[in-house]
Amino acid sequence: MSKQCSQLPILSGLVVVFFSTILLAQDINTNLGKDLLPSEIDTYSITIFPDGTNLPLGQGTAVQGAALYKNSCSLCHGSNGIEGPAARLVGQDGWFSLTDPLRILRIKQHPVLLISVGGLWPHATTIFDYIRRAMPHHAPKSLDNSEVYALTAYLLYRNGLIDEQTTLDRQSILKVTMPARARSTFPRGSDFAIE
Amino acid sequence: MSKSSLKTAAGGGLLDRRSFLLSGLALSSAHAVASSQSSLGESLPQWMKTPGGNDLEYGLPASAERHVTRQLAKNTPETALFSMWHTPIENQRGIITPSGLHFSVNHNGVPNIVPEQHQLLLHGMVDKPLKFDIESLLRYPVVSHIRFIECAGNTAQNAVSLNPLNLGCQELFGQLSGAEWSGIPLKYLLNEAGVKPSAKWVIAEGADGGSHSRSIPLEKLMDDAILALYQNGERLRPSQGYPMRLLLPGWEGNTNVKWLHRLEVTDKPAYSKDESGLYSDILKNGKIQRFSFPMEVKSVITHPSGNQVLPERKGFYEISGLAWSGRGKIAKVEVSADGGKTWAQANLDSPVLAKSLTRFRIPWQWNGESTTLLSRATDEQGQIQPTRHQWRDKYASYSFNHYNAIQAWHISRDGTVENTYV
């Protein structure tokens, strides 16, 4: 009861709603949100955009990334990034080569291997973004920014998009052209083709 | 009622959907007369002769129904962290899925969120960045709508497998559920923050371990999106996004971000992990279609369906199923009981709601011969389900999202029902 009473003074917004049912829904004005401080935005604003917005400082190479990959990633993605069970990281999307003796088994056991990061993702920034927010699966957000650049470089190198010595950082990552970008198309009538 | 008095609607024994089914009403007039020596309970079952047990604080299904559960999809990455739980829709009647049976796809497990410490952050291209705690959000106007959610990958097996796999409704169609969702129209919160005129997108992010993220056109959030706090009259279950989720009516399940904690208003999409690969569609010409949000018109017969056995050869059965469209209401559902040669219109049960499951039913007099049952839905936009051949003609052979082709169940002479292609 005391909780209900304590809410009464701040129910004025709802009282307005009760007495304004003839108004359209859009006319409801609410004001219960609190100011979000710039420091709080900085803490949580982790989305990396294809134009480089929010890319942090740090750098790494594929050579450095190879060791990290072996320790933190290969258990789920396979030593070559194609074995699964987790998503295929290297090579084209689609059915595996007919010469792969495990092709049927792999597709049957792990259908997500039909799609591939190297084959489908249009922006290298997404690799950085996703490793940083979600990988490794058992300990997301545990890598530092240079480790994330190094792992991103390793995956780009394994896909033949940069060489092993290229230093990846917030500038050089924007120069990488993912082959899938040219394949992008958008549903008819949509206004979504914004790079 | 004799068979001859029922109106036939199409081949294979489909009856007119308006048929009255009276044949079961020939009541037996035989009754036993109790002798004067016997007690009333002698011929009654035990539960009519003893006091009942205690009820529970939170009710559970009958013990004889405990087998009706969600099932973890096979053939997905075998980690506890990436799980796909399928709804047993062949056990469902009506259009509401019980909350505990609602399907769930979790890419990084189900987080254990402390509600008092959870906030929704709203920032980016707004006049006033804001944060909302749950206590405040529970005081906003709450609207309720019955909506379906379907995973973009629902029925993927029939999209890519060259031969029809011997699977039932739960495995093939179980990434589909219907519920009443209650929450706050997102436009209230966006208007409170003041969206800048050049904004076009909102990046929605969850508070799970993987910080699941999707780019949503602002237009959708200002239209019919809600911040859902309740499902089927109670606060969200953890696997449905407790304490709050995005509900984008009609759009692929993955965009309905669970455990929502951040909305960043922008003028461009982020190309997050899921909109870059797993939830894109590869077309026949090799192009990769991105941001294909609405789930297109689709239907499935749930009664009878794959892996079931019709208990009696020949005789009356009611064909019943579900139809839905991410673009609005279902306009009609046609059913064929002769492999697609002839079709009859099924009855649509009320309520028929936009972006909701719709229940259809039609009576069927099976003649005992092997045949194939099909359902074909049309929505109010005039969109009609394609055949499997038509659908596959549009996409690469390994593309599996947004599969909405006409589903076929083969009925054998012994009553076995199996997934098939026509």
Instruction: With CB atoms and an 8 Å threshold, state whether A33 touches B130.
Output: yes
User: Hey, which of A77-81, B28-32, B377-381 has the most confident mean pLDDT?
Assistant: B377-381
CATH code, B382: 2.60.40.650
Nearest to B282 among A84, A85, A93 (CB): A93
Q: What is the pLDDT of residue B2?
A: 44
Neighbours of B394 (CB within 10 A): 14
Q: What number is the average pLDDT over the span A188-194?
A: 60
Q: Express each pLDDT in B183-239 by its tens digit.
A: 999 999 999 999 999 999 999 999 999 999 999 999 999 999 999 999 999 999 999
Instruction: Give the C-alpha distances (Å, rounded to integers) separating A186 from A83, A113, A123, B220, B288.
Output: 30, 23, 16, 17, 8
Among candidate residues A49, A81, A54, A66, the one with its CA nearest the CA of residue A150: A66
Range of the domain at A177: 62-182
Q: Express each pLDDT in B238-296 by its tens digit.
A: 999 999 999 999 999 999 999 999 999 999 999 999 999 999 999 999 999 999 999 99
Q: What is the pLDDT of residue A156?
A: 98
Q: Which A-chain residues 110-139 have CB contacts (< 8 A) with chain B? A: 110-112, 114-117, 120-123, 125-126, 129-130, 133-134, 137-138
B338, B250: one domain: no
Q: What is the pLDDT of residue A191?
A: 59
Q: What ipTM does this complex have?
A: 0.91
Measured between beta carbons, which residues in chain A are less than 8 angstroms from residue B82? Answer: 86, 137
Q: What is the pLDDT of residue B81?
A: 65
Q: Within an 8 Å CB–CB cutoff, is residue B289 touching chain A?
A: yes
Q: Express each pLDDT in A3-59 by its tens digit.
A: 444 444 444 444 444 444 445 555 667 899 999 999 999 999 999 999 999 999 999
B261, B303: one domain: no
Match 């909302």 to its residue by tokens.
B132
Range of the domain at B201: 104-162+176-282
Instruction: With CB atoms and an 8 Å threshold, state whether B210 touches A134.
Output: yes
Q: Is residue A13 part of a domain?
A: no
Runs of H (alpha helix) within B242-321: 273-276
Q: Express each pLDDT in B118-154 by its tens digit.
A: 999 999 999 999 999 999 999 999 999 999 999 999 9
Final residue before a domain boundary, out of B256, B282, B308: B282
B356, B224: one domain: no
AA identity, residue B63: S
Q: Express each pLDDT in B314-361 by its tens digit.
A: 899 999 999 999 999 999 999 999 999 999 999 999 999 999 999 999
Residue B241 DSSP code? T
Among candidate residues A45, A43, A17, the one with its CA nearest the CA of residue A32: A17
Q: What is the pLDDT of residue B162?
A: 87
The helix (run of H) or strand (run of E) holding residue A5 is: helix A2-7
Q: Which B-chain residues 292-321 have CB contacts (< 8 A) with chain A? A: 292-293
Q: What is the pLDDT of residue B29?
A: 46
Helix, strand, coil percentages (3-state) for chain B, rounded to 5, are 15, 35, 50
Q: What is the pLDDT of residue B260?
A: 98
Final residue before a domain boundary, out of B282, B316, B344: B282
For helices A62-72 and A145-158, give the axis angle rounded to 10 degrees: 100
Shortest distance between the Cα of B203 and any Cα of chain A, in A, equals: 8
Instruction: Give the C-alpha distances (Å, rounded to integers) separating B224 from A172, A188, B215, B221, B247.
Output: 41, 21, 16, 7, 9
Instruction: With CB atoms and an 8 Å threshold, state whether A195 touches B292.
Output: no
CB-CB contact of B16 with B339 (8 Å):
no
Nearest to B270 among A47, A108, A137 (CB): A47
SS3 of residue A70 by DSSP: helix
Q: How many domains does chain B have?
A: 2
Q: How many domains does chain A have?
A: 1
Match 């009878």 to its residue by tokens.
B304
Final residue before a domain boundary, out of B220, B255, B282: B282
Name the band, by pLDDT with cuts 50, 70 and 90, for residue B27. Answer: very low
Shortest distance between the Cα of B62 and any Cα of chain A, in A, equals: 35
Among candidate residues B100, B76, B81, B118, the one with its CA nearest the CA of residue B206: B118
B324, B270: one domain: no
